[in-house]
Amino acid sequence: DQQVKQNSPSLSVQEGRISILNCDYTNSMFDYFLWYKKYPAEGPTFLISISSIKDKNEDGRFTVFLNKSAKHLSLHIVPSQPGDSAVYFCAASPRGREKLTFGTGTRLTIIP
């Protein structure tokens, strides 16, 4: 049972445009959500997070939106740059926050 779902395995976006990556979750106990970025042959690196008390969090070009009623979050990257080409993982944890459940990832390709 996949509790965190990233339904788009891949996404291609023109450089300079907005990239929107989506994530859905089923476990209503999740209250903390994170996005990680992964380049080939490297470990994932933390990008941005949001707790369930917020519906938006921004960090530079990256914004995460959380819709609790729909159990949906999205990552917006504006403007998209070639260095953003990577696999993006959504992750979630319940209160207590020690254990993360990851989605299957979305491969983002930025087209110059």
What is the SS3 assignment for 98? coil
CB of 42 to another protein, least distance (A): 6
For residue 62, state whether it binds another protein (rule: CB under 8 A).
Answer: no
For residue 98, state whether it binds another protein (rule: CB under 8 A).
Answer: yes
Rounded to whole angstroms, the Cα distance separating 77 from 31 reads 23
CB of 101 to another protein, least distance (A): 8
Burial label, 108 (beta-carbon count in 10 A; 0-12, 13-18, 19+)? buried
CB of 3 to another protein, least distance (A): 10
Which of 8, 22, 32, 68 lies at the binding interface for another protein (CB under 8 A)?
32
Buried b (16+ CB within 10 A) or exposed e, 11-22: eebeeeeebbbb
For residue 46, state whether it binds another protein (rule: CB under 8 A).
Answer: yes
- Binding-site ranges for another protein (CB under 8 A): 4, 6, 9, 32, 34, 36, 41-46, 49, 89, 93, 97-105
